[in-house]
Amino acid sequence: MLTDMPKNRARLLVSCQDRAGIVSAVSTFLFQYDGNIVQSDQYSTDPEGGMFFMRIEFDINLEKTSFLALKKAFQEIASPLNLEWSMTLAHQKKRMAIFVSKEDHCLMELLWKWKSGELYVDIPLVISNHSDHQKSVEAYGIPFYHIPVTKQTKIEAEQEAIDLLKQNQIDFIVLARYMQILSPLFVQTFPYQIINIHHSFLPAFIGANPYAKAFERGVKLIGATAHYVTNDLDEGPIIEQDVLRVNHKYTSSDLRIAGRHIERIALSRAVQWHTSDQIIVHQNKTVIFS
Amino acid sequence: MLTDMPKNRARLLVSCQDRAGIVSAVSTFLFQYDGNIVQSDQYSTDPEGGMFFMRIEFDINLEKTSFLALKKAFQEIASPLNLEWSMTLAHQKKRMAIFVSKEDHCLMELLWKWKSGELYVDIPLVISNHSDHQKSVEAYGIPFYHIPVTKQTKIEAEQEAIDLLKQNQIDFIVLARYMQILSPLFVQTFPYQIINIHHSFLPAFIGANPYAKAFERGVKLIGATAHYVTNDLDEGPIIEQDVLRVNHKYTSSDLRIAGRHIERIALSRAVQWHTSDQIIVHQNKTVIFS
Amino acid sequence: MLTDMPKNRARLLVSCQDRAGIVSAVSTFLFQYDGNIVQSDQYSTDPEGGMFFMRIEFDINLEKTSFLALKKAFQEIASPLNLEWSMTLAHQKKRMAIFVSKEDHCLMELLWKWKSGELYVDIPLVISNHSDHQKSVEAYGIPFYHIPVTKQTKIEAEQEAIDLLKQNQIDFIVLARYMQILSPLFVQTFPYQIINIHHSFLPAFIGANPYAKAFERGVKLIGATAHYVTNDLDEGPIIEQDVLRVNHKYTSSDLRIAGRHIERIALSRAVQWHTSDQIIVHQNKTVIFS
Amino acid sequence: MLTDMPKNRARLLVSCQDRAGIVSAVSTFLFQYDGNIVQSDQYSTDPEGGMFFMRIEFDINLEKTSFLALKKAFQEIASPLNLEWSMTLAHQKKRMAIFVSKEDHCLMELLWKWKSGELYVDIPLVISNHSDHQKSVEAYGIPFYHIPVTKQTKIEAEQEAIDLLKQNQIDFIVLARYMQILSPLFVQTFPYQIINIHHSFLPAFIGANPYAKAFERGVKLIGATAHYVTNDLDEGPIIEQDVLRVNHKYTSSDLRIAGRHIERIALSRAVQWHTSDQIIVHQNKTVIFS
């Protein structure tokens, strides 16, 4: 997991059309630059013309080669192989913004995990369309922005949020039970950088009031789904799902309370994988290197 | 569970509009007839005008009062209270028919559980629209009927099946991956006495090819749902559900294979609860006394 | 669960030697006092001379009969039947003390659940042998007492705690990762009123450093166990257990971090059941009415 | 999983002291021999002087290079790097022997999975110290050997089994609830090639009658553990574990019946991983590439 992230630990994500020789080319490159591979996972959808995905964690000698120089050099082998790739330093924390509405269980989980060192991120701000959680957030020393949203002010409100996110150089956004649908403009500003927690086992119970629907249908398990936000409501790439056993005694309100557990767990895992560059999105699905 | 079912063990299921005094009336009745309550569960949806559901297991002195006499006497207290009820002797095995098509994992699970004494039923026959599993079924000493079904012969085929079921005094039917949709006529002949296993976490992926759909959507858990069959496809009362963790490496075919585990488990539990009178159906939902 | 606890909702727990007529006697009693049974569970270990356990939730008319009068009247039918019993009003919150040391995840979980209304208790105080969490606790408006413990001061420290608990009329105590072994004197002062969370799947890895031991053994699941404290270390009646899948990549420290999830969940459930009078202890085991 | 195993798919397992350049050397070797890496996982316990483990699945051109030639060539790069390694062809089925006593659920699970194509092995024989399951096994067309074992005949019985295993060129052995303790001689004849299913969540309830012990202790989950057999009873490297929720209503016999589910699941997974070369044993722990 995270504690004591070494300064010289780097991560490489690669996706491309499958072909022979990619692992060899990449690992030889890293070896030439004194990289020591600590962990690697590689997966092909189909050896005959499918996709190839790879994640490598490696240690490098930053005194000999700067990270910028390494990336530049890698681009030279990546281009002829048509690799899509990204390379990050593990100890450089991503900057995460949290959006929240009235329910605070997901927010508090993330804040607590951040404070206790379980979540390796910076949290420059929390944005909410309600002011309820201002005090709790500020108690953690994190700026809280109350941006009310109405039908009439939605565009301006979103612009205000975007401005704040840019000023704060936010890398990704977590919708921790934020009960507003984001506009296409907002979504495309942060492509696959917005994580939402939906309180059902998608694709069951898309849309509003999933617990009420689950109660109606009489399901024996309730679920939660963390996914990247796209312009199709609750249809983005699924990152993580979890379920909990319930029974006929649960009222709709009981389901809602019980579901908080799995919402927190599924969202936490998704956020952790995102912060550790463990996710590649491909065609509305996720490859998770866990 | 089941081994050594006592001869004098009886079960009572009750459902009615909630009102004070029901438990008192019923338990006092049983006490008067020397009944000893071994286990009881009782549940109200809402004490103010909701529904009341109860299951009681009790031991009786059959030498003093015959079971028929007991039921007759109970009817006298049940009528004024407007109770819907059923009373059974635990050691009287229900008669179960299994319907199967090509996939045999649910069939074999039920047969093995029956043979090993885990499932307390009689299995007078297995019916299939294919002949593939004739030999396996007959090896268990159970008659196998091959009733092919085509669009043209569907009505006759169903009638043939109904005749066989009636001749064999079947109490309930298990669709152990039977890939034919039953007609309304068939369904209403056995109301809430047909259990189906659907290979998804309903209401996600209703209809055909749920594993292919699950693969397309990129879910992180696959599910199975055992439910009573009604005339709305995959919409009947859910009895049991289970899920299994999967990941991006699973092909559609891998999902299908992995799913067999949970199909077997969810169906087995549902059948066991049905055989032990642990289920009350109310308004397209089930109350499970487990 | 809990929201909007009705003022006239009562709970009765009964345990005794099994015999015919108990349900009848109790339910008739309640009926005579205008009680309406909302939920009841009853269980016998063995109809031939075993134990009988029962939990009843019922609504009463407190304007007609006071709760004290009801309990007095019940004693009269309980005595001849040799019933052990307790009766409580659901809306009367139990008073819970939390003990904590350095790790705060269980503490914060309980405080958050209490604040959000998920946990129906009063928390008059938190006691710790360290001062680390003083600020976090006081932010919730709850008094925090720092009582350091050394080998030399253990007896005095415990006495100081006992005095505080009595002054605050504490009903039960939760050891939320409190890393001190309580003396027999302390334990017998609160019999079956102290809940501990042990960070392993008991009886595996009794004692100190269970995660280090789990790492050594190479287990594929880690566990957590909530149990009542007795004088035999980690041997008290188990209330709840949960597990989490891990793999060879987890270091001992990763196991510790991952385990926090299930510690919080198992402890929360145990505390909730205790607060709702859903637990009967019998011969070092628990009957959970859930 | 398995269906349609390609003829030219190979697998390589490597373990060694960690050092830079191993992935590069191995992947470059494979590239030179026209190997296409389909899947690879690699893991280091500690980049500073820890252990390195790797599993690679790759497709090769067997018409250009024979498998024997490939292995010979690989030995030349493996020797200077001090690699421990094994290379197999995926379509070459391992030869598995099953040992069983009276309980047949694990046996029947393995046979059914084998017959339905889920388990990619040959099963040349089943050995039992009882004759109960002769007919069931032979119905699958598999030879059954009844080798009774008493204290007096244990050595001869084991020798008879060893002879049969050698004659049948057995690769590995599954103890599918075989209730005899194997001698050190037997164990060392098949090092880390004997898989046992223990009916508890090890290290809890080592030894005989784990379900009776679990009942005594009042656990809320029961477990099953598949592990390699060593000379320390129930202390060998754990391959897989699973658990099932139970409650106070379960008798010791109920626990035994319920446990069969998870015994079958944990054992099946362990066997599948073993057959697919997904396991490396290191210092009494397993690395599972799944």
DSSP collapsed to 3 states, chain D? CCCCCCCCEEEEEEEEECCCCHHHHHHHHHHHCCCEEEEEEEEECCCCCCEEEEEEEEECCCCCCCHHHHHHHHHHHHHHHCCEEEEEECCCCEEEEEEECCCCHHHHHHHHHHHCCCCCEEEEEEEECCCCCHHHHHHCCCCEEECCCCCCCHHHHHHHHHHHHHHCCCCEEEECCCCCCCCHHHHHHCCCCEEEEECCCCCCCCCCCHHHHHHHHCCCEEEEEEEECCCCCCCCCEEEEEEEECCCCCCHHHHHHHHHHHHHHHHHHHHHHHHCCCEEEECCEEEECC
Instruction: Judge whether C2 lies within some domain.
Output: no
Looking at D67, D89, D111, which one is the last position of a domain?
D89
As a dihedral over the C-alpha atoms of residue B128, residue B131, residue B133, residue B137, rounded to 10 degrees, the angle is 70
Instruction: Judge whether A1 lies within some domain.
Output: no
> What percent of chain B is modeled with pLDDT above 90?
89
CA distance D289 to chain C (A): 9
Query: Which chain C residues contact residue A3 at CB under 8 A?
Result: 253, 257
E strands present in chain A: 9-17, 36-44, 51-59, 84-89, 94-100, 121-128, 144-146, 172-175, 194-198, 221-228, 238-245, 279-282, 285-288
Q: Which parts of chain C register pLDDT below 70?
A: 1-3, 47
Chain B contact for D261, CB < 8 A? Answer: yes
Query: Which chain A residues contact residue D245 at CB under 8 A?
Result: 245
Q: Is residue B2 over pLDDT 60?
A: no
CA distance B69 to C161: 63
Domain match, C161 and C282 both: yes
8 Å CB contact of C242 and D219: no
CA distance B138 to A160: 73
Domain match, B78 and B110 both: no
Domain match, D172 and D262 both: yes
Instruction: Judge whether B114 lies within some domain.
Output: yes
Helices C67-81, C22-32: inter-axial angle, 10-degree rounding: 160
Chain A contact for B158, CB < 8 A? Answer: no
Looking at D89, D116, D148, which one is the last position of a domain?
D89
Helices D252-275, D105-115: inter-axial angle, 10-degree rounding: 40
Tokens of B150: 């085509």
- Please state the φ and ψ torsions of residue C58, each to the nearest 5 degrees: -145, 155
From B18, B41, B171, B234, active-site residue: B234
Report which DSSP code applies to C139.
Answer: H
Select the more confidently predicted residue: B149 or A2: B149
The HSE-up count of residue C44 (CA atoms within 13 Å, CB side) is: 21
Instruction: Provide CB contacts within 8 A for C208, sequence distance 6+.
Output: none
Q: Tell me, what's the pLDDT at B98? A: 98
Length of chain A, in residues? 290
Query: Which chain A residues contact residue B288 at CB under 8 A?
Result: 220, 247-248
Chain A contact for D4, CB < 8 A? Answer: no
Instruction: Provide CB contacts within 8 A for B208, sequence distance 6+.
Output: none
Q: Are C12 and C87 in contact (CB under 8 A)?
A: yes
8 Å CB contact of B257 and D118: yes
Alpha carbon D106 to chain centroid, angstroms: 14
Tokens of D141: 């067309």
Query: Which chain B residues contact residue C35 at CB under 8 A?
Result: 20
Q: Are C239 and C290 in contact (CB under 8 A)?
A: no
Domain match, C81 and C157 both: no
Report which DSSP code applies to A154.
Answer: H
Q: C-contacting residues of A 45-104, CB under 8 Å?
A: 104
Query: Which chain A residues contact residue C249 at CB under 8 A?
Result: 39
Query: Which chain A residues contact residue D47 at CB under 8 A?
Result: 36, 38, 59
Instruction: Provide CB contacts within 8 A for D120, sequence distance 6+.
Output: D2, D5, D93, D275, D276
Tokens of A73: 């050099």
8 Å CB contact of B47 and C59: yes
Domain match, B147 and B113 both: yes
8 Å CB contact of B288 and A223: no
Chain C contact for B20, CB < 8 A? Answer: yes
The HSE-up count of residue B217 (CA atoms within 13 Å, CB side) is: 25
Query: Across residues D52-60, what is the average pLDDT?
Result: 95
Report which DSSP code applies to A192.
Answer: T
Domain match, C121 and C247 both: yes
Q: Is residue B107 over pLDDT 80?
A: yes
Q: Is residue B1 over pLDDT 70?
A: no
- Please state the φ and ψ torsions of residue D46, each to the nearest 5 degrees: -165, 115
Instruction: Provide CB contacts within 8 A for B258, sequence distance 6+.
Output: B222, B244, B246, B250, D1
Q: Tell me, what's the pLDDT at B19? A: 86
Q: Domain span at residue D25?
A: 9-89
CATH code of the domain in which C35 resides: 3.30.70.260
Domain match, C77 and C112 both: no
Nearest chain A residue to B288, by CA: A248
Query: Across residues B156-184, what is the average pLDDT?
Result: 97
CATH code of the domain in which C240 resides: 3.40.50.170
Q: Tell me, what's the pLDDT at D3? A: 55
Q: Tell me, what's the pLDDT at B3? A: 55
Question: Average per-residue pLDDT in chain B?
Answer: 94
> What percent of chain B is modeled with pLDDT above 70?
99
Domain match, D52 and D123 both: no
8 Å CB contact of B20 and C35: yes
Report which DSSP code applies to C50.
Answer: -
Chain D contact for C15, CB < 8 A? Answer: no
Q: What is the ipTM of this complex?
A: 0.93
CA distance A78 to chain C (A): 29
Domain match, B85 and B100 both: no
Instruction: Judge whether A4 lies within some domain.
Output: no
Q: Tell me, what's the pLDDT at A211? A: 94
SS3 A244: strand
Q: Tell me, what's the pLDDT at B233? A: 84
Written as one letter, the residue type at A97 is: A
Nearest to B39 among C21, C30, C44 (CB): C44
Question: Partners of D10 in the beta sheet?
Answer: D58, D89
Nearest chain D residue to B266, by CA: D261
Chain B contact for D283, CB < 8 A? Answer: no
Alpha carbon B241 to chain centroid, angstroms: 13
Q: Tell me, what's the pLDDT at A46? A: 78
Report which DSSP code applies to C218.
Answer: T
CA distance D120 to chain B (A): 13
Active-site annotation of A, residues:
234
Instruction: Judge whether D83 lies within some domain.
Output: yes
Q: How do beta strands B94-100 and C9-17 pair?
A: unpaired
- Please state the φ and ψ torsions of residue C5, each to the nearest 5 degrees: -75, 120
Tokens of D252: 């010791």
What Å distances lie between residue B216 and A225, B209, B210, D145, CA to CA? Answer: 16, 11, 10, 47
* CA nearest neighbour of D258 among C192, C215, B268: B268
CA distance D232 to chain B (A): 32
Domain match, B122 and B229 both: yes
8 Å CB contact of A221 and B243: yes
From C104, C122, C232, C234, active-site residue: C234
Domain match, B279 and B257 both: yes
Query: Across residues B70-88, what is the average pLDDT?
Result: 96
8 Å CB contact of B23 and C27: yes
Domain match, D151 and D54 both: no
Instruction: Judge whether A163 lies within some domain.
Output: yes
CA distance C24 to D210: 39
Helix (H) or strand (E) holding C172: strand C172-175
Query: Which chain B residues contact residue A219 at CB under 8 A?
Result: 202-203, 238, 241
8 Å CB contact of B248 and A43: yes
Chain D contact for B105, CB < 8 A? Answer: yes
**In a 10 Å sphere around its CB, with 0-12 CB exposed, 13-18 middle and 19+ buried, how is residue A23 labelled?**
buried
Q: Tell me, what's the pLDDT at B174? A: 98
Query: Which chain D residues contact residue A27 at CB under 8 A?
Result: 23-24, 27-28
Chain A contact for D12, CB < 8 A? Answer: no
Q: Are C47 and C53 in contact (CB under 8 A)?
A: no
Chain C contact for B31, CB < 8 A? Answer: yes
Q: Tell me, what's the pLDDT at B45? A: 86
Written as one letter, the residue type at D42 is: Q
What subunits touch chain D, counting only 3 or more CB pairs under 8 A? Answer: A, B, C
pLDDT per position as a tens digit, D194-250: 999 999 999 999 999 999 999 999 999 999 999 999 998 899 999 999 999 999 999
pTM (predicted TM-score): 0.95
Nearest to C108 among A39, A112, A261 (CB): A112
Instruction: Judge whether A251 lies within some domain.
Output: yes
8 Å CB contact of D20 and A39: no
CA distance A259 to A264: 9
Instruction: Judge whether D1 lies within some domain.
Output: no
CA distance B191 to chain A (A): 19
Q: Which parts of chain A register pLDDT below 70?
A: 1-3, 47
8 Å CB contact of A238 and B218: yes
Label residue A254 left, alpha or beta by phi (over 0 means left) and psi (-120 to 50 means alpha).
Answer: alpha
Give the number of domains in chain B.
Answer: 2
8 Å CB contact of B241 and A223: no
As a dihedral over the C-alpha atoms of residue D266, residue D267, residue D269, residue D274, rounded to 10 degrees, the angle is 140
D4 catalytically annotated: no
In chain B, how long is the greatest CA-to-CA distance? Answer: 64
CA distance B1 to D64: 61
Query: Which chain C residues contact residue B27 at CB under 8 A?
Result: 23-24, 27-28
Looking at A89, A105, A131, which one is the last position of a domain?
A89
From D104, D171, D234, D242, active-site residue: D234
8 Å CB contact of B202 and A217: yes
Q: How do beta strands C9-17 and C36-44 pair?
A: unpaired
